[in-house]
């Protein structure tokens, strides 16, 4: 029940993320949300407060995050993913999921920070976001571009939730 609520809540947030296109021509729209405005992208304080009304779900999230504080991102310098679908089914390359997994972990850590104010979660979210924004230099295939389009919203939401904790230099992410 708790996992279903968290999954449904996350799906709603992610679906709403697709209403804003994150592409190079929209970088200014992303940048305007990252400065200290005390606003988050797509998730409001009311959303966070509603989430907190489900202590079992919050506890499950925080327990999961505590078990993953040693999580290490796997950024790539060049993302050149093969097509997801091929003649034998789907691409099962391990690297095909690096960006997706890291983006979603950054989002989960940021959400954990938003509901708990634990700076360790904000730090971990920023570490993952920074790893990709400081490492990735080229996206060379259509599948790679799709991965960016599908998963950048997780990073944008995560960044918006942790941007005001500590002295994070969000400039590399804004350029990303």
User: Which of 145, 123, 78, 73 is closest to 103 using CA atoms?
Assistant: 73
Phi-psi region of 14 (alpha: psi -120 to 50; beta: other; left: phi over 0): alpha
Q: For 80-96, what is each residue's pLDDT tens digit?
A: 999 989 888 888 888 88
Residue 5 has pLDDT above 60, yes or no: no
Q: Which residue has the higher pLDDT, 148 or 39?
A: 148
Distance CA 25, CA 34 (A): 17
What is the spatial distance between Cα 159 and Cα 30, in angstroms, rounded to a whole number?
10
Express each pLDDT in 19-56 by its tens digit. 333 344 444 444 444 444 555 567 888 999 999 999 99
How much is the pTM?
Answer: 0.77
pLDDT at res. 70: 98
Average pLDDT value over all residues in the chain: 83
CA distance 30 to 156: 7
Q: Region 9-26: what's the mean pLDDT? A: 43
Q: Is 14's pLDDT higher than 70?
A: no
Query: Which pLDDT score is estimated for 29?
Result: 46
Q: Which residues contact 77 (CB under 8 A, 6 or more apart)?
A: 135, 136, 137, 138
Q: Give the count of alpha carbons within 13 A of 42, CB side only.
A: 24
Name the residue among 90, 106, 77 with its Cα closest to residue 143: 90
Percent of residues, the chain, with pLDDT higher than 70? 77
């Amino acid at each position: 029940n708790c996992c279903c609520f968290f999954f449904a809540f996350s799906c709603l947030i992610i679906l709403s993320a697709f209403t804003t296109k994150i592409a190079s021509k929209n970088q200014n729209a992303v940048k305007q949300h990252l400065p200290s405005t005390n606003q988050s992208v797509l998730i409001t304080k009311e959303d966070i407060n509603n989430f907190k009304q489900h202590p079992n779900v919050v506890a499950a999230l925080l327990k999961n995050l505590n078990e993953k504080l040693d999580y290490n991102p796997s950024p790539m310098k060049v993302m050149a993913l093969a097509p997801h679908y091929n003649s034998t089914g789907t691409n099962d390359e391990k690297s095909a999921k690096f960006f997706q997994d890291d983006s979603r972990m950054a989002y989960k850590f940021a959400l954990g920070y938003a509901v708990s104010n634990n700076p360790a979660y904000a730090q971990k979210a920023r570490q993952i976001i920074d790893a990709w924004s400081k490492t990735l230099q080229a996206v060379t295939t259509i599948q790679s571009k799709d991965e960016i389009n599908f998963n950048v919203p997780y990073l944008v939401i995560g960044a918006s939730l942790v941007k005001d904790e500590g002295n994070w230099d969000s400039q590399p992410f804004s350029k990303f």
